[in-house]
Amino acid sequence: MAAETHPKNGNWTIASIREALAARRISARELASEFFARIAARNPELNAYLALSPERAYAQADRIDLAIANGESLPALAALPLAIKDVLSTRGVVTTCGSRMLENYRPPYDATAVERLEHAGAMVLGKTNCDEFAMGGSNENSAYGPVRNPVAPDRVPGGSSGGSAAAVAAGLAVAALGTDTGGSIRQPGSFCGIPGMMPTYGRVSRYGLIAFASSLDRIGPFAATVRDAAAVFSVIAGHDPLDSTCADMPVPDYVKALEQPVRGLRIGIPTDYFGAGLDPAVKEKIEAGIALLERLGCRRVPLSMPHTDYAVATYYLIATAEASSNLARYDGVRYGLRVPGSTLMDMYRKTRGRGFGPEVKRRIMLGTYALSAGYYDAYYLKAQKVRALIARDFAKAFEQADVIVTPTSPVPAFRLGERTHDPLAMYLADIYTVTGSLAGVPGISVPSGKTREGLPVGLQIFGPAFGEARMLQLAHAFERAGGAEV
């Protein structure tokens, strides 16, 4: 195979796949076989995939190869090896949400995002491991075992979309879909050293996404490059009549926008994100990343976002309350796991006791408490008011800056088991990501160097609502200028 087919890291990109297919250096079926061989070799160690869908992938590969043989034009993502987080519905393919509650569930339909990607030519390789019902920041809450970080297998890949991040970082997929509720795409992207993007709430249809917190959940891409993330995002973005929260707005050409110059862009740096709790090694790399952006001609603008300190508490009240409501449907009656009992209440108790893991039970209890009579005003309603204040912080910040730049995580990837017995420490690791989630704005994490231990650090870029084009433009310029090596 010609040397230009693969980039330096040995992984394929959308462009190199398209070039190789057009030149007949590889067929789509051969490409699918290559990736299933990679998965067979590496997945037993990483546990990134929970289920594979070779029949589906090879059927798509054969359609692509037939189109090439007939001289037809190729779709935008022709033969893209794609992984799907196991909270997104895939027709006929087991979709467990990382839980025993849905261990045998096979959806009768595809999520809109999955359907659009297949229509664009992508090959769905399989479903990736995740924290149970997307609840977790380390991917250690899966009922099917933790995922290991391919950069450092003794460490977590981040969560909840850790399986998707690990699959891309290890070269077991060229791109993957994850979901982000409070950082579940951006933090794994940071820990695994790849771009991970959360779109604006309402930009991508949530139809077919099995809900955790409906006002926060978003679907977004992982990829080895910002350009590939933009290409995948371009396909999944846009109005969907099946999702009432999906915005009916035109979709720009995000890939074309990447080439716009960044000189003169105002980058807002919130001082509130650089205080106590930020690991010195992470701070060093983020400051080096900001310095690189300044060398590219961007202008630093200091910001104050005073309600940042309340973000974690606000997020975990709202998210757990919505989880309590959404997960009430798993009762052993309609679908999913059913454990027989002597009475109806006994059946409920046994089903939910066996079907849900400790973290899901913890969040259901917290959310139910926050919504209960006598506590609703004191907790849930107050949290919604603070959420509005956090959104106002972002609105004011975007009056002064074009984008906001922060660390993605206060720490690099931590060791497996290090925080499992300290939920509060786990939750506090979300301090820099939950703010954008509560405000509804888009964010992306891009690699910004490594610590002395060789652990990746992520630089987070927020854009204003539906301002993904500018956010991606800056992320691409940072990547191209060597941001991963600062």
Active-site residue set: 85, 160, 184
Asked if residues 392 and 439 have their Cβ atoms less than 8 Å apart, the reply is: no
**Partners of residue 220 on adjacent β-strands:** 178
Tokens (6 digits) for 419: 């925080």
Reduced to 3 states (helix: H, G, I; strand: E, B; else coil), residue 136 is coil
- Cα 147 to Cα 145: distance, rounded to the nearest angstrom: 7
Contact partners, residue 202, CB within 8 Å, separation at least 6? 245, 246, 247, 440
Q: Give the distance between the most distant pair of CA atoms in the chain.
A: 70
Single out the residue of 68, 73, 77 nearest to residue 15, CA to CA: 77
- Cα 279 to Cα 467: distance, rounded to the nearest angstrom: 30
- Cα 286 to Cα 280: distance, rounded to the nearest angstrom: 10
The DSSP line for 442-458 is -EEEEEEEE-TTS-EEE
**Which secondary-structure segment (H or E) carries 416?**
none
CA distances from 131 to 48, 140, 160, 442 (A): 11, 6, 5, 22
Question: Nearest 5 degrees, angle CA 193-CA 195-CA 196?
Answer: 110
Reduced to 3 states (helix: H, G, I; strand: E, B; else coil), residue 310 is helix
- Cα 78 to Cα 318: distance, rounded to the nearest angstrom: 40
